[in-house]
């Protein structure tokens, strides 16, 4: 496998998003949710101001974000039906892939379109992979589905694939599948240090999660610091173009470790629980909302993140534009 640094230079939006110095709107990524079978955007109760979108509202709000200067859109799909293998995730006509095509048709190369590559939104058990007979997640069987998802998402217009499942070997498997299918310029963002965090609670509502049990056998122990760096280095060795630490705010030490060592850009995801806590406290008048948002994102940049995924991306970009 040959390294391809040029994957991160393919478009102006890609170059802006991975720029190493400073913190601009171009470094921000907006996570968005598109839901099958709804006629109007559905508000997410635990995340005020965030919605499950129709295709039409998805395109409209993505356009608003990009016009404000946001560098990337990260898309999650919410299907009507779930099954044991998450088949809606590999269906070219599944909601996530249809949403990717709609975004690419609207935005072209103006922003980096990132597809969430995982099975948790699509399975009836809510895990990030398929289950073995004993009920555990089958790592290697899951990789075969990830390979298929990678190619379908690339065909649907994704510039970058966000590998969020924390399966061992997922980067190498998807990189090989993309290269074999003729998509050598589609890049990979590896969720390298993804912790089994309590901060994901509101996200479960956002994607209508069917989770039974927990994900501690594949997501990382919240007490472990050096393991986060090890995971990132393994993903870089497998060919990741970007590595991620998730959540961001409670793991700034891990983020700093990875940023000081990584030879590729480093992303951090300010997750749903981080968003919900600030919004709830601000609504009660306990925090200055705008200052707290700005401070929380500045801390993530200060710790070394080149790319910051945040539900406030559009708001922050519009603030920067108005200054």
* pLDDT value of residue 170: 98
Q: Is 194 a catalytic residue?
A: yes
CA dist 208 and 195 (Å) reads 20
Mean pLDDT of 214-239: 95
Q: Which residue of the set 81, 194, 212, 321 is catalytic?
A: 194
**Segment holding 321, helix H or strand E:** helix 313-322
Active-site option among 81, 155, 212, 246: 246
Cα distance between residue 48 and residue 46, in whole Å: 6
Closest among 176, 221, 175 to 194, alpha carbons compared: 221
Q: What is the pLDDT of residue 58?
A: 98
The domain in which residue 207 lies consists of 5-322
Note if the bond before 246 is cis, omega within 30 degrees.
no
Which residues on adjacent β-strands are paired with residue 70? none
Query: Does position 17 have pLDDT exceeding 90, yes or no?
Result: no
Question: pLDDT at position 254, please?
Answer: 98
Strands 42-43 and 51-53: antiparallel
Q: Any catalytic annotation for residue 212?
A: no
Give the count of domains, the chain.
Answer: 1
Evaluate if residue 73 carries a pLDDT over 70.
yes
Per cent of the chain over pLDDT 90 is 89
**Tens digits of per-residue pLDDT, 171-184?**
999 999 999 999 99
pLDDT of residue 21: 64
Q: Judge whether residue 22 has pLDDT over 70.
A: no
Does residue 80 carry a pLDDT above 80?
A: yes
Q: Is the pTM of this model over 0.85?
A: yes
Are the CB atoms for 9 and 15 separated by under 8 Å?
yes
- Position 138 pLDDT exceeds 80: yes
The CATH number covering residue 216 comes to 3.20.20.70
Residue 10 confidence (pLDDT): 94
pLDDT band of residue 203 (cuts 50, 70, 90) is confident
pLDDT bracket for residue 18 (50, 70, 90): confident
Residue 1's pLDDT is what? 66
How far is the first Cα of the chain from the last one, in angstroms, to the nearest whole number? 45
Average pLDDT, the chain: 95
In contact, 104 and 156? CB cutoff 8 Å: yes
pLDDT of residue 303: 95
Owner of token pair 């600030």: 278
């Amino acid at each position: 496998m040959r390294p391809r640094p040029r994957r991160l230079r393919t478009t102006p939006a890609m170059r802006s998003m991975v720029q190493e110095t400073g913190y601009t709107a171009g470094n921000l990524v907006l996570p968005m949710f598109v839901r099958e079978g709804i006629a109007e955007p559905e508000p997410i109760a635990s995340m005020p101001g965030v919605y499950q979108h129709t295709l039409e509202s998805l395109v409209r709000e993505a356009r608003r974000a990009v016009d404000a200067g946001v560098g990337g859109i990260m898309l999650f799909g919410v299907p009507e039906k779930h099954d044991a293998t998450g088949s809606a995730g590999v269906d070219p006509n599944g909601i996530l892939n249809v949403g990717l095509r709609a975004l690419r048709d609207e935005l072209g190369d103006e922003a980096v379109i990132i597809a969430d590559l995982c099975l948790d939104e699509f399975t009836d058990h809510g895990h990030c992979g398929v289950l073995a007979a004993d009920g555990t997640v089958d790592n290697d069987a899951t990789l075969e589905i990830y390979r298929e998802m990678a190619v379908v998402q690339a065909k649907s217009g994704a510039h970058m694939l966000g590998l969020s499942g924390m399966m061992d070997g997922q980067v190498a498997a998807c990189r090989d599948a993309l290269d074999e299918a003729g998509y050598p310029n589609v890049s990979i963002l590896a969720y390298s240090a993804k912790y089994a965090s309590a901060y994901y609670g509101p996200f479960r509502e956002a994607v209508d999660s069917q989770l039974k049990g927990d994900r501690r056998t594949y997501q990382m122990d919240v007490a472990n610091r050096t393991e986060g760096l090890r995971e990132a280095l393994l993903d870089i060795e497998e060919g990741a173009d970007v590595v991620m630490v998730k959540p961001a705010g409670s793991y700034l030490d891990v983020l700093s470790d990875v940023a000081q060592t990584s030879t590729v850009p480093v992303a951090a995801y300010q997750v749903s629980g981080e968003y919900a806590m600030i919004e709830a406290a601000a609504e009660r008048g306990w925090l200055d909302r705008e200052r707290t948002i700005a401070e929380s994102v500045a801390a993530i940049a200060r710790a070394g993140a080149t790319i910051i995924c945040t539900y406030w991306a559009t708001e922050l970009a519009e603030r920067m534009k108005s200054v």
